[in-house]
Amino acid sequence: MRKKIVAGNWKMNKNLEEGLSLSSEIIHIAADELRNDAKIVIIPPFIHLYAVSKLMQGNQKISLGAQNCAYKEEGAYTGEVSAKMLASLPVQYCIVGHSERREYFKESNAELAEKVNLLLAEGITPIFCCGETSAQRAQGIQLDWVCGQLKESLFHLDSDNFAKIIIAYEPLWAIGTGVTASTEEAQEMHEGIRNFITARYGETVAQSISILYGGSVKPENAKELFACKDIDGGLIGGASLKARGFIDIIKAF
Ligand code: PGA
């Protein structure tokens, strides 16, 4: 059985006080209401991580993730946060290659491969994002594009390390737009990604990898997305900023 995961990416939202209050709300509602076995990951901005980790101490259901890490190990990289620093906190997950970072910060597939290596070396699970633009979809090259992203940033890994990765398929045209991929479009891509992984790593590894869908997931559409055979959860942006909605998405399993 693949792990079911719902991760909330807060992006650059919430000051520390707001972040702590959102975290406690999520922790309390989750304890009261959640009975399924989905793993919950809260991914706040860097400056919240330490304080949120204190709130989450001992919590078996909810884990902490970071939104990014540096592609270098340490040194003179002003403004960056290393995988090693993240590992000095109870950070278990880290997003790699979110489309906003690829677009605004020009992160390349090669840099992302370095980030993946550094995170794995620290025992942190990368949540590797991939996805196509609407123009690429219009040309019908969405699967080739996404497979190229996987190949260039992940396929250097051996099977044991690759098996530790979580993939998040996030079509760029669906992120923050309110437009969700249809269940057919999403399932087709997830299946294509899994087949591509099967060809490189074999059936056992491919069947064990959690592939999350991201892009305008909300309580109203989570159920039908999560019911798809190859969709193992979601990476949630906007809808993770309200505890009630976020928990309702997790309940959709
Ligand atoms: P969204 O963002 O849910 O606001 O569309 C998803 C993401 O960017 O991870």
Residue with CA closest to ligand 1 atom 6: 237
For residue 82, how far is its CA from the centre of ligand 1 (angstroms)? 24
Q: What is the distance between the alpha carbons of residues 122 and 141, in angstroms, rounded to a whole number?
A: 35
pLDDT tens column, 6-50? 999 999 999 999 999 999 999 999 999 998 889 999 999 999 999
CA distances from 50 to 15, 19, 61, 91 (A): 14, 12, 18, 9
- The catalytic site residues sit at 98, 170
* Tens-place pLDDT, residues 83-132: 999 999 999 999 999 999 999 999 999 999 999 999 999 999 999 999 99
Is the pTM here over 0.95, yes or no? yes
Average pLDDT over residues 224-230: 97
pLDDT of residue 69: 98
